[in-house]
Amino acid sequence: MKKEFEAWAISSMFEEGHGFIGRYCWFESKSPVIPSHLEGCRVALFKTRALARQGLVSFRRGFEKARVVKVKVTIEEESCRKLR
């Protein structure tokens, strides 16, 4: 089974290739509390562009070129067969 959806992420646009901002980058003063059922996704994803832009404002201090980008997330089931 394969499922795809669109979301918004923050690309660091860093020359060294850091890529997307991770889920543990926090955009406020406190550390994030990530529920255990959300641990599988490593990238900070936002439901709307507006929410991503809010996060970008505080994150941009370290990455001046960072920008909000639309992404397609694909979840694909992998078949696991037991060896006999």
Residue 31 has pLDDT above 80, yes or no: no
Report the DSSP beta bridge partners of residue 6. Answer: 72
Greatest alpha-carbon pair distance for the chain in Å reads 55
The pLDDT of 27-37, averaged and rounded, is: 68
Residue 48 has pLDDT above 90, yes or no: yes
Residue 27 lies in a domain: yes
pLDDT recorded at residue 55: 85
14 vs 54, residue with greater confidence:
54
**CA 40 – CA 59 distance, rounded (Å):** 22
Residue 82 lies in a domain: no
The pLDDT of 54-69, averaged and rounded, is: 83
Kindly report, residue by residue over 1-30, the tens digit of the pLDDT.
Answer: 899 999 999 998 877 767 888 877 765 656
Domain that holds residue 54: 2-76
Residue 50 lies in a domain: yes
Count of domains observed in the chain: 1
- Written as one letter, the residue type at 68 is V
DSSP state of 28: S
Nearest to 68 by CA among 6, 5, 11, 27: 11
If you count them, how many residues does the chain have? Answer: 84
